[in-house]
Amino acid sequence: MAKAPTVYDVAERARVSIASVSRVLRNPDSVKEQTRERVLEAVRHLGYVPSANARGLAARRTNVIGLFFPGHDDVAGSDGRLVAASGGVTVVRDDATGDPETHNYYFDEVLRGAEIEAWRRGFALMVAAGRGASREAIVNDIAGRVDGLAVLARTVPDELLAHVARRIPVVVLAATRGTDEFDHVSVNNAPGMRAITEHVLGTGARRLMYIAGPEDSPDDRERLEGFRAAVDGAEGVSVELVRGDFSRVRGREIALRIEAMPEAIVCANDQTALGVLDAMGRRSISVPDDVMVTGFDGIAAGRHSTPRLTTVHQPMVELGRAAIQALTARLDDPSLEAQSLVLPVQVVLRDSCP
Q: Are residues 201 and 272 in the same domain?
A: yes
Q: Per-residue confidence at 97, pLDDT binned at 50, 70, 90?
A: very low
Q: Are residues 46 and 120 in the same domain?
A: no
- What domain count does the chain have? 3
In a domain, 132, yes or no: yes
Q: Are residues 336 and 220 in the same domain?
A: no
Instruction: Give the CATH number, domain containing residue 11.
Output: 1.10.260.40
Higher local confidence (pLDDT), 142 or 15: 15
pTM across the whole model: 0.78
Is the separation of the CB atoms in 271 and 249 below 8 Å? no
3-state secondary structure of 346: strand
Residue 57 has pLDDT above 60, yes or no: no
Is the separation of the CB atoms in 68 and 148 below 8 Å? no
Q: Which of 10-19, 98-107, 158-167, 287-296 has the highest mean pLDDT?
A: 287-296
Question: Measured on CA atoms in the order 278, 190, 346, 315, is the torsion positive or negative?
Answer: negative
3-state secondary structure of 187: strand
Expressed as residue numbers, the domain containing 28 is 7-50
Dist. CA 353–CA 196, nearest whole Å: 10
Q: Per-residue confidence at 273, pLDDT binned at 50, 70, 90?
A: very high
Please give the pLDDT value at position 86. 61
**In this structure, how many other beta carbons lie within 10 angstroms of the beta carbon of residue 292?**
23
Question: Among the listed ranges 8-12, 151-155, 228-232, which one has the minimum average pLDDT value?
Answer: 151-155
> How does pLDDT run across 241-253, given as a tens digit for each residue?
999 999 999 999 9
Q: Are residues 132 and 183 in the same domain?
A: yes
Q: Are residues 326 and 251 in the same domain?
A: no
Please give the pLDDT value at position 76. 42
> How does pLDDT run across 59-68, given as a tens digit for each residue?
567 889 999 9
Please give the pLDDT value at position 324. 96
